[in-house]
Amino acid sequence: MDLNGKHIVLGLTGGIACYKAAELCRALIKQGATVQVVMTEAAAQFITPVTMQALSNRPVFTSQWDAREPNNMPHINISREADAILIAPCSADFMAKLLHGRADDLLSLMCLARPMDRVPLLIAPAMNREMWAHPATQRNMTQLKADGATLLGVGNGLQACGETGDGRMLEPQELLQDVIAFFQPKVLAGHHVLVTAGPTFEAIDPVRGITNLSSGKMGFAVARAAQEAGATVTLIAGPVALATPRGVSRIDVVSAQEMLDACLRQAPLASVFVATAAVADWRPENSAQQKIKKDGSGQVPQLGFVENPDILATLAKSARATSGALYCVGFAAESHDLLAHATAKRARKNVPLLVGNIGPATFGQDDNALLLVDVNGSREIPRNNKLALARQLVADIAARLASATA
Ligand code: CTP
């Protein structure tokens, strides 16, 4: 669980998005966090403290005069326990209040009283689109960031008032991902990571093609882990139906040639390239413009194949990679003799790091085991879920980059 051991103070202020805070509270707890809910008087107009108490399994605090605390200082006690204070939803009014350091209710008092060096403040704004676009709100947002708060952004869409635009609170699962990412070490800050993921699809005709069983899960996990580690991430994905990780730019492609073209366009911006895609090795020599029909004779079409370009080897040969500006990491999907094949493949593709895995044992699964092979030998990352493996791989890559520049 990604939030094991974390204690989150979840602050609710007045807004219809309070209904989403109930789901968020559950989601945080499911990931192992303990949650202390603090609500403003306005928030209690939208959702009852009873609901939030039942979901968080803790009494909710709503007043700075709450006598349940022996020293009668809930703002001190609650803020000192927290690993983070998350205000979701944060109204326009509450943002203005925080900005001025006002402290006339428990939540704002607690935000002001928090030890800034160890209790971060995360803000998930929620308001009507005009309120969000207002120069006062935008100004407040800029100043709150300058004062050290983390602004989690807003969603776009239909609002409770019937208008459509920016200002909706992010969905609970989006906020959950942002909170989890917030706690990850920013070992790739300043890097731009390019990741390929999934299979490619090579058309035989408009309705048929050849592909493979890659699910894309490992590549999507690598993209997410790199984003959590503070990198700018571009994910070039073959045909898969996975959700794009938060904060990652995604480019969808179909064939190996399209994947190569997209990689060549993006590579000049990147400092790290991780090739997790299971690129089809061959494509039909000719792709028919129209569906190939059976002619009733029992004859089967004769398909010729040509080899696809090797995307990893192409990028590893580029001037950017050979000059050290682009660090290339390959994957190797093998069915047997993993160490021998991965070692040979690393040399053949001329990359500093190659990650071996047993393809048939992992395609489509949520877990995997990795074998990291470099010029000095190999190291195993034992079986785990793909996100946990991706985080370890990202930490390993970051350490290699840091030692290369040290
Ligand atoms: N790769 C690539 N372009 C290709 C083939 C592979 O970029 N046309 C990359 C993969 O993304 C992976 C690495 O090269 O990072 C190794 O891929 P893999 O399928 O294991 O090996 P192949 O190069 O296809 O070799 P073989 O089929 O002989 O195992």
Q: Mean pLDDT, to the nearest integer, of 384-398?
A: 97
Note whether 106 and 203 are same-domain residues.
Answer: no
What is the CA(49)–ligand 1 centre distance, in A?
Answer: 55
Q: Which two tokens stand for residue 118?
A: 């160890």
Q: According to the model, what pLDDT value does residue 114 have?
A: 97
Q: According to the model, what pLDDT value does residue 295 have?
A: 85
Note whether 269 and 222 are same-domain residues.
Answer: yes
Q: Which of 255, 263, 281 to mutate to test the pocket of ligand 1 (most atoms within 8 A of CB)?
A: 281
> Which among 140, 166, 183 is the end of a domain?
183
Alpha carbons 312 and 394: distance in angstroms, whole number: 18
CB 92 within 8 A of CB 137: yes
Q: Which two tokens stand for residue 378?
A: 């190999």
**What is the pLDDT confidence band of residue 364, given thresholds at 50, 70 and 90?**
confident
Q: Mean pLDDT, to the nearest integer, of 290-295?
A: 90
Q: According to the model, what pLDDT value does residue 94 have?
A: 98
CA-CA-CA-CA torsion sign (355, 361, 363, 366): negative
Domain of residue 389, CATH code: 3.40.50.10300
Q: Does residue 2 fall inside a structural domain?
A: no
Q: Does residue 293 fall inside a structural domain?
A: no
Q: According to the model, what pLDDT value does residue 359 have?
A: 78
Note whether 83 and 198 are same-domain residues.
Answer: no
Predicted model pTM: 0.93
Task: Between 301 and 271, name the one with better pLDDT.
Answer: 271
Q: According to the model, what pLDDT value does residue 323 have?
A: 95
Note whether 214 and 176 are same-domain residues.
Answer: no
Per-residue pLDDT of 120-155, as tens digits, reads: 999 999 999 999 999 999 999 999 999 999 999 999
Q: According to the model, what pLDDT value does residue 406 have?
A: 72
Q: Which of 310, 328, 354, 397 to mutate to test the pocket of ligand 1 (most atoms within 8 A of CB)?
A: 310
On the question of pLDDT at 374 being above 80, the answer is yes
Q: According to the model, what pLDDT value does residue 154 have?
A: 96
Per-residue pLDDT of 201-246, as tens digits, reads: 999 999 999 999 889 999 999 999 999 999 999 999 999 999 999 9
Q: Does residue 1 fall inside a structural domain?
A: no
Domain of residue 57, CATH code: 3.40.50.1950
On the question of pLDDT at 27 being above 80, the answer is yes
Ligand 1 in contact with 219 (CB < 6 A)? no
Q: According to the model, what pLDDT value does residue 358 have?
A: 86
> Which among 115, 149, 183 is the end of a domain?
183
Q: Does residue 295 fall inside a structural domain?
A: no
Domain count, the chain: 2
**What is the pLDDT confidence band of residue 405, given thresholds at 50, 70 and 90?**
confident
Q: Does residue 237 fall inside a structural domain?
A: yes
Note whether 163 and 90 are same-domain residues.
Answer: yes
| Proportion of the chain above pLDDT 70, given as a percent | 100
Q: According to the model, what pLDDT value does residue 83 have?
A: 98
Q: According to the model, what pLDDT value does residue 202 have?
A: 98
Q: Does residue 248 fall inside a structural domain?
A: yes
What is the CA(278)–ligand 1 centre distance, in A?
Answer: 7
Residue 50, C-beta contacts closer than 8 angstroms, at least 6 positions apart? none
Note whether 222 and 366 are same-domain residues.
Answer: yes
Note whether 169 and 214 are same-domain residues.
Answer: no
Nearest-atom index, ligand 1, CA of 280: 8
Q: According to the model, what pLDDT value does residue 64 have?
A: 93
The β-bridge partners of 35 are 8
> Which among 183, 212, 230 is the end of a domain?
183
Ligand 1 in contact with 332 (CB < 6 A)? yes
On the question of pLDDT at 363 being above 80, the answer is no
Note whether 367 and 221 are same-domain residues.
Answer: yes
**What is the pLDDT confidence band of residue 362, given thresholds at 50, 70 and 90?**
confident
**What is the pLDDT confidence band of residue 55, given thresholds at 50, 70 and 90?**
very high
Q: Cα 34–37–42 angle (5° rounding)?
A: 165
Note whether 255 and 157 are same-domain residues.
Answer: no
**What is the pLDDT confidence band of residue 111, given thresholds at 50, 70 and 90?**
very high
Q: Does residue 219 fall inside a structural domain?
A: yes
**What is the pLDDT confidence band of residue 58, given thresholds at 50, 70 and 90?**
very high
Q: Does residue 156 fall inside a structural domain?
A: yes
User: Mean pLDDT, the chain, as a whole number?
Assistant: 95
Element counts in the chain: helices (H) and strands (E): 16, 19
Kindly provide the b/e burial profile for residues 86-115, where b requires at least 16 CB atoms within 10 angstroms of the residue's own CB: bbbbbbbbbbebbbeeebebbbbbbbbebe
Helix (H) or strand (E) segment spanning residue 282: strand 282-284
Note whether 341 and 390 are same-domain residues.
Answer: yes
Q: According to the model, what pLDDT value does residue 373 have?
A: 97
Note whether 176 and 212 are same-domain residues.
Answer: no
Ligand 1 in contact with 308 (CB < 6 A)? yes
| Domain encompassing residue 208 | 192-286+301-405
Note whether 138 and 277 are same-domain residues.
Answer: no
The set of catalytic residues is 161
